Amino acid sequence: MMKSGRANFGSKLGVILASAGSAVGLGNIWRFPYETGNYGGAAFILIYLGCVLLLGLPIMLAEFIIGRRSRANTAGAYQVLAPGTHWRWVGRMGVLAGFMILSFYSVVAGWTLEYVFEALGNGFAGKTPEEYIQSFQAFSGNPWKPIIWLVLFLLGTHFIIVRGVEKGIEKSSKIMMPMLFVLILVLVGCSVSLPGAKSGIEFLLKPDFSKVDGNVFLGAMGQAFFSLSLGMGCLCTYASYFSKDTNLTRTAFSVGLIDTFIAILAGFIIFPAAFSVGIQPDAGPSLIFITLPNVFQQAFSGAPWLAYIFSVLFYVLLALAALTSTISMHEVVTAYLHEEFKISRKRAAWFVTGGCIFFGVLCSLSLGVTKGFTVFGMGMFDLFDFVTAKIILPLGGMLISIFVGWYLDKKLVWEEITNDGTLKVRLYKVILFILKYIAPIAIGIVFINELKIL
């Protein structure tokens, strides 16, 4: 079934790192902590973990099956596996989500670049927690600066996409993922040893179920899909580049584990530090940008050169983690335009980059200059985030699980999961049961409950 001329990932490690590179990004380090803060801490984390295990991993496997079997972009995949049906709309919806996420995500990715330069110029040294808040507000409300960074970030993504799959995506993931991981561990150590860090640790470990409502469930589910890059065909597109002997189940477990571990560790960097310096845990999207500089300055107050090195390194790695995620979103939309509309890859990539710059600029302005303009009470940035993470991704996940659980021929599913019978997958029946019943019903209940559909 392999289409000739279609790229492949070069090695097993490359497969895992590229998928993990897509999954690990601002979703873990920026979005997870602020959602945890918004929804009250430990109870949210427990529900989040449940969502990853029960919905995330099986649906990731389902995406892998669809992608590797069809060897096509996410919309084309449904044409191959379910020709002439409406299933292709699931793929198209994913492409739309990819485009929307890339637009608002690049705004925050751009912020990380500003912080790289701020760190390089030693701009964090000697400031008080209040000053970090003020300088973030001044920066994000500035009409020009965030837009310049956003455009640069999208152009960086663009050039990697144009260079092709293996060279660009695989190489960059291989180097930066392990580095990021080590640095995060160091920062956790620093953060938990700050004075007053204990209340932050409690916030993460002591669940308070009295605050849990349907909202928290929708938030946790949306965050799980967002963080695992699920529900929009991203991992499906990557799986179309997997080789015949990639162990799909094991890859899904590895990616899920790495992603979740990094998110939890990010929590252990942010909250002990936030409580230590008196920053509110529900500060929202600005949370890591106003908390982290404190970690560097306070933890290394005796050795300013260490504070300098660690802050530069951290923001560089954060920007790179964001980059491996933006590449994966860009790839979904580019592969779709290139393969479905038969335009060159380069041209397709320019359409995506141009479109995302346009909407990205609007998202960025909605946090400052055009704050007053709202739709359903939300500015463009919040609206794009809400519609994708809390509606399109879970809905996509639900339809993907129904597609693999009910529509696809079970022989085909078995062949993909076991690599034509060469692998023994003990959880096969459990996975199928989850895809058939648990995932669609659970997502359905959360939707009905929260979005008041009925």
Contacting residues toward ligand PHE, per CB under 6 A: 22-23, 25-28, 101, 226-227, 229, 232, 234, 325, 328-329
Give the separation between CA 287 and CA 328, rounded to whole angstroms: 25
Single out the residue of 246, 4, 1, 300 nearest to residue 126, CA to CA: 300
Residue 270 or 299 with smaller CB distance to ligand PHE: 270
Give the separation between CA 422 and CA 424, rounded to whole angstroms: 7
Query: Which residue is at the shortest CB distance from ligand PHE?
Result: 27
Single out the residue of 255, 378, 429 nearest to residue 325, CA to CA: 255
Q: What's the min distance (Å) between Cβ of 206 and ligand PHE?
A: 26
Q: What's the min distance (Å) between Cβ of 379 and ligand PHE?
A: 20
Token pair belonging to 203: 């916030």
Task: Give the 3-state secondary structure of residue 378.
Answer: strand
Residue 57 or 329 with smaller CB distance to ligand PHE: 329
Q: What's the min distance (Å) between Cβ of 134 and ligand PHE?
A: 27
Residue 23 or 197 with smaller CB distance to ligand PHE: 23
Residue 24 or 248 with smaller CB distance to ligand PHE: 24
Q: What's the min distance (Å) between Cβ of 101 and ligand PHE?
A: 5
**Percent of residues in the chain assigned helix, strand, coil, to nearest 5:** 75, 0, 20
Give the separation between CA 187 and CA 179, rounded to whole angstroms: 13
Q: What's the min distance (Å) between Cβ of 64 and ligand PHE?
A: 15
Helices (H), 242-303: 248-277, 287-299
Residue 116 or 263 with smaller CB distance to ligand PHE: 263
Q: What's the min distance (Å) between Cβ of 171 and ligand PHE?
A: 19
Residue 106 or 291 with smaller CB distance to ligand PHE: 106
Please count the other Cβ atoms lying within 10 Å of the Cβ belonging to residue 111. 29
Give the separation between CA 72 and CA 90, rounded to whole angstroms: 14
Residue 27 or 41 with smaller CB distance to ligand PHE: 27
Q: What's the min distance (Å) between Cβ of 426 and ligand PHE?
A: 28
Give the separation between CA 96 and CA 105, rounded to whole angstroms: 14
